[in-house]
Structure formats: C-alpha cells, structure tokens
A and B are shown apart, each in its own frame.
Chain A
Amino acid sequence: MRMKRHIRVLLYVAAVAVGLFMVAPFAWMVVASFQTQAELVARPLRWWPGRFFPDRYVSIFTDPANDVFRTALRNSLIVSVAVVAVSMFVGILGAYAFARLNFRFRRAVLMMFLFTYMLPQIALLIPLYMILNNLSLLDTIPGLVVVDCSLVVPFVLWILSNYFLTIPAELEESAWIDGASRLGALVRIVLPSARPGLFAAAMFAFLLAWDEFMYALIFTSSTASKTVPVAIAEFSGRYSTDFGLVAAGGVLAALPPVVLAVLFQRHVVSGLVSGAVKT
C-alpha cells in the first residue's frame, strides 16, 4: 500500500515521539551520572554537563565504601552466567524431548512447566528460606543460582521447544542413517541449525537472571552474595538525594543487559514469537 504524504509525515512524527519516550529517561540517567551535584540541583536544571565529571564512576570502582556495589556486579555476573549455563544445558535436553519425542503426559508436563512461572515467587519465599537455611545455602551464590534456575528453566524450555520444532526432522533422520545416535544428532545437527534460537534463549535467560530481585532480596544479606538489583535498591534508598550516584550505579547495572539486548535485537522478536511467555 502506498502511503499518502500526510500519513507518512504523521508516521515519522509518531516514530520520533516514541523513540524519545523510550530513550530519554535512560539517556538522562547516563547524562546525570556525568554531572556534578551542583548542576543536578540547579534551577533551572542543566541538561548537559558543564564539564566532564567522571568522579562517581571512579569512586564506585575505587572507593572502599563502594565495595558493596563492585562485589554486587561481580556476584550478578557469576549468578547470571551460572544460571544461563545450567538452564541452557537442562533446557536443551528437555526441549528436544518436547519437540521430537512422543510420550505420555507430554502436554500435561509442558503445561505444568508453563504454569510454574505464573506462580508468584512470594508464595515460595518462607519455606525456601528455611530450606536454604538448613542446607547452609542461605546468603550464598550457589543457593541463589539454584532458586533462580527454577525461574529460568521453564522459560528456556519453552523458547527452545518451539524453536526445535521449526528445524526439519529430515536433517536428523539422515544423520541417524549415517549411524549417529539421537544425542549425537542433537549435538551435531540440531544445535548448529538452532543457533538463532539458542542465542535468543540464552539472552532471555541472562536478562531474567540479571533482573531477578525478590529471591535475591530475601535470600542474600551480606556483601559477599548480594546482587546488583539489591545493591541498587539499597543505593537508591540511602543516597536518595544524590541522584548522580544512583544514576552512575544504574548505568553500570543496566549496561550488560542493555548491550546484550541491543546486539541481539533481531533475536528479541523471534524469541518472543516462540517464547510468548515471560514479560
């Protein structure tokens, strides 16, 4: 359909408006993190740094008082990478079963997995707290990885199951004829052709794990195991008058997922087609 001129203009106006609304708050956080406190409290507010002021980042990375935040970044990275690794491994195997095998209760099992991430985390918090406590896993990184995996695995299963279905079964079948086992064909034939789906699933898994807040809030208490969202929540509570510092911490916390999402933007749409699940 060819567009009339005024409709075209309207579209671009809307596109600019949407782009601004989406990017302006984030851009403001970046700008504010480089402004001095004096500039941030000035009236009228200055929207651009008078001079480049990277001191907050320097302080976050060097000041012993900000040790909590540095360690939190490291903890979040460890937790997220571990959760992605476990979920992908477990998810690939399970998704293959859902996509290719014919077994009893297949649909019921899949529905139960789907139902689990509708479950409010809050309904599990108190018993999980006691279990982790009894296993001495409370306030530890492995403990957090274990509980986070239960959130991320259903999601990975779902994306990958749907993705595996789009790969023609003939590819594998010819490998079986050549003598490959089912698992061998999965590793050598299915996985390489499912690369986009694997990227999408891994990216979503990382974002979910990085974003996870409630478990981390309740199950971690010491610097050694706190994750970034918990540190940011504390930061913004403690330094509510120092928006610049909160902004700098926010930029650092947002950087890994934002970079990943922008790099793999193409996979977001395809992941959501098949994943259509977690928002």
Chain B
Amino acid sequence: MTPSPRPKPDEVGAGKRPWRRTQGAFALGLLAPAVVVVFGIIVYPMVQTGVYAATDVASAMQTSAPFVGLGNFRSALGRPQFWASMGRTLYFTVVSTGVELLLGLGIAGLLNARIRGRWLLRTLVVIPWAVPTVVSGALWKGIFNAQYGSLNALLAQFGLIDKYQIWLGTPFLALNMVIVADVWKTVPVVAFMLLAGLTSIPDEVYEAARIDRAGRIRTLTSITLPLLLPSISIVLVLRVIEAFKVFDIIYAMTRGGPANGTMTIAYYTYMTAFSDQRYGLGSALAYLIVIVIAGLSALYLRALRRSEMSLL
C-alpha cells in the first residue's frame, strides 16, 4: 500500500458500459446509508448550536429564549477566562505537537532502520496508542502522584530529587505534565504515520544517492526529509487540530485544575455549558472552536491533496 499515484475512478471506469449513465443513481444508493448515519446526526445539532449561540438559553427545558444576536460571542470574547484558556490551549498545542513531531520523526526512523528486533519495537510502540485516552490519563495521574507516585519514587531512588515533588500541584507545571502524558499516548501514531511515509520512498532514490556518494546527513536533508514533507504536513495539521480540541486527557488527569492551570478551551466550553448551565454562552464558545478548526481543516485538506495519497 504505497501512496503512489493511483488511477482515478474515472480512468478505472473508462470505456462505454451500459450502466455508465446510471452510475450517479447507483452511487447515491450506495452512499445514502453513510450520509444518513453521519449527516443525519450532525447537521441539525450543528445548526441548533448556532441558534443557541444567538439566544440566551439558560436551561435544557426552556422552550423560548430571548434572541441576543452576537451578544454571547461578544460576552465570550470579553472574558479574561476565555483568553486565558485560549493561551493555554495554544501553549499545549504548540509544545505537544512540536515534541510529538520531533520524537515521532526519530522513532519513525528507528522503526524503519534495519535493526534486529524491529518487530518487537514496533509492537511496543503500538501499545500506548491502543491504551484508551482516559486510562492513560488515570495512569499518568498515578505516576505523577505527589505522595506515592512512581515518578517521584524513581527520581528519588536515582538521587535526582531529595524531596517528592507535587507534579500536578502548580498550574504551569501541571500543564506541562499533561503534555508529557499526551506525548506518550500520541507519539506512536505520529511515528507510524511518518513511518508510512518513509516506507513509500522508493529504494532506488537511496541507491542513486549512494552512487552519487552522498553522505548520511546529506541523504537525510536532501532526500528523506523533502520526500517526507507531505506526510509531515499532514501529521502536523492533524495533530494541531486534535490538540486544539484536547479534552479527554484533561478530564482524566486534572479536570482543568489546579487553579485553572490546565483549563483548555474545550474544557472551558464544557464547564460553561454543563457545569454553569450557560447553554447560550457555551454554544458561542463551541462555535468559536469550530471556526478555528474549520480554518485548520482547510489547511489539512490542502496538504492531503498535495500528497497524492488520496482520492481527492
């Protein structure tokens, strides 16, 4: 399964076949179930959230609510807490994505290298990816525990710290520790996606580089990285999108605390809507997230189309 240029369906289906004209109807029939299952669930709530965002809904059972136009958006944008959580989300996104990409590149190289026990390494690297996010959150919460956590125990036994640290006790440190947990859980998928890109680089290219007596570093910078660029850009945009929406691991590890130190924008929106029961404001916040995600998704689709990896 290499992402070499594939025939487009119109080329595959070229030729005059009797059902050529009925393909549209046939496609509609085949796609109808998927369209119902996906868009049947998504479209109405998407619109409805927009309606809530423009009204002052205070409870789930309220039948009519005063129309407030862009009031909720204005109120959201005027909240220091909104900008603070945006800032934290930005920090989380940049740092976690950056670390994951760098580590992922290295690990992908290792997984592709001709070393003994490569299958074992690949198997080990798959594990964190398969562990459910909430489980990994609970696991790292235990590891970082201030009194009995194994990180403290390990560092103390190696003499690296003299007293146990409260890893999740201060806002900024906690945010960074959540990033550590996120990196552990996510770096495998980044590495595997980059590995997929690596394995699609034909051997002949390396062969040619060898004949030209290109050194190891030169081969990496002039061949591997440029050819890997499409995969890198896809992974990068995807990770940025996922990181921007981060919720599960925050819920499992810190629930936004301490002192809102890990309150990302998705968690803030969740708290506003479900804890404070401010549905209108919560919906406006959710729409602001959608706007950012839509921009990022446009980038993603462009990266995908450039990569020849797909049907697009």
Question: How does the 8 Å CB contact mask read for A87-125 relative to B, with 1 for contact and 0 for none?
Answer: 101110110111111111011011111111011111111
Q: Is the CB of A18 within 8 A of B141?
A: no
A106-147 contacts to B (CB < 8 Å): 106-107, 109-116, 118-131, 133, 146-147
Q: Is the CB of A268 within 8 A of B134?
A: no
Tell me the smallest distance from the CB of B188 to a CB of chain A, in Å: 7
Q: Is the CB of B129 within 8 A of A43?
A: no
Interface assignment of B241: CB less than 8 Å from any CB of chain A: yes
Tell me the smallest distance from the CB of A18 to a CB of chain B, in Å: 6
Interface assignment of A210: CB less than 8 Å from any CB of chain B: yes
Q: Is the CB of B121 within 8 A of A273?
A: no
Interface assignment of B126: CB less than 8 Å from any CB of chain A: yes
Q: Is the CB of B251 within 8 A of A94?
A: no
Q: Is the CB of B312 within 8 A of A107?
A: yes
Question: How does the 8 Å CB contact mask read for B209-232 relative to A, with 1 for contact and 0 for none?
Answer: 010000010010000000000010
Interface assignment of A260: CB less than 8 Å from any CB of chain B: yes
Q: Is the CB of B273 within 8 A of A261?
A: no
Q: Whole-angstrom distance between the alpha carbons of A229 and B231 in the complex?
A: 31
Among B42, B52, B199, B274, contact of A150 (Cβ-Cβ < 8 Å): B42
Tell me the smallest distance from the CB of A241 to a CB of chain B, in Å: 8
Q: Is the CB of A15 within 8 A of B184?
A: no
Among B130, B296, B297, contact of A260 (Cβ-Cβ < 8 Å): B130
Chain A residues within an 8 Å CB radius of B13 = 100-102, 169
Q: Is the CB of B142 within 8 A of A243?
A: yes
Among B125, B127, B139, B266, contact of A120 (Cβ-Cβ < 8 Å): B266
Q: Is the CB of A214 within 8 A of B247?
A: yes
Q: Is the CB of A150 within 8 A of B27?
A: no
A276 and B132 in contact, given A119-B293, A122-B266, A161-B311 (Cβ under 8 angstroms): no
Interface assignment of B160: CB less than 8 Å from any CB of chain A: no
Q: Is the CB of A28 within 8 A of B143?
A: yes
Tell me the smallest distance from the CB of B251 to a CB of chain A, in Å: 6
Q: Is the CB of B42 within 8 A of A119?
A: yes
Interface assignment of A240: CB less than 8 Å from any CB of chain B: yes
Q: Is the CB of B193 within 8 A of A162?
A: no
Chain A residues within an 8 Å CB radius of B136 = 25
Q: Whole-angstrom distance between the alpha carbons of A109 and B296 in the complex?
A: 19
Interface assignment of A185: CB less than 8 Å from any CB of chain B: no
Q: Whole-angstrom distance between the alpha carbons of A232 and B248 in the complex?
A: 12
Q: Whole-angstrom distance between the alpha carbons of A104 and B48 in the complex?
A: 29
Question: How does the 8 Å CB contact mask read for B22-54 relative to A, with 1 for contact and 0 for none?
Answer: 011011101101110111111011101100100
A111 and B312 in contact, given A1-B216, A12-B115, A25-B184 (Cβ under 8 angstroms): yes
Question: How does the 8 Å CB contact mask read for B137-166 relative to A, with 1 for contact and 0 for none?
Answer: 111111101011010011011000000000
A1-21 contacts to B (CB < 8 Å): 1, 7-8, 11-12, 14-15, 18-19, 21
Interface assignment of A84: CB less than 8 Å from any CB of chain B: no
Interface assignment of B93: CB less than 8 Å from any CB of chain A: no
Q: Is the CB of B3 within 8 A of A273?
A: yes
Q: Is the CB of A101 within 8 A of B23?
A: yes
A38-91 contacts to B (CB < 8 Å): 40-41, 43-45, 86-87, 89-91
24 intermolecular pairs with C-beta atoms under 8 Å apart: A22-B124, A90-B33, A94-B30, A104-B24, A118-B296, A118-B297, A124-B46, A125-B273, A126-B52, A127-B45, A161-B311, A162-B310, A165-B7, A165-B9, A213-B133, A232-B252, A236-B141, A250-B138, A269-B196, A272-B193, A274-B1, A276-B231, A279-B189, A279-B235
Besides A107-B311, A228-B132, A276-B304, 5 other CB < 8 A contacts?
Answer: A7-B216, A22-B124, A23-B124, A29-B142, A125-B274
Question: Hey, which bits of chain A sit against chain B, CB under 8 A?
Answer: 1, 7-8, 11-12, 14-15, 18-19, 21-23, 25-26, 28-29, 32, 40-41, 43-45, 86-87, 89-91, 93-94, 96-104, 106-107, 109-116, 118-131, 133, 146-147, 149-150, 153-154, 157, 161-163, 165-166, 169, 182, 207, 210-211, 213-214, 217-218, 228-230, 232-233, 235-237, 240-241, 243, 246-247, 250, 253-254, 257-258, 260-262, 265, 268-270, 272-274, 276-279
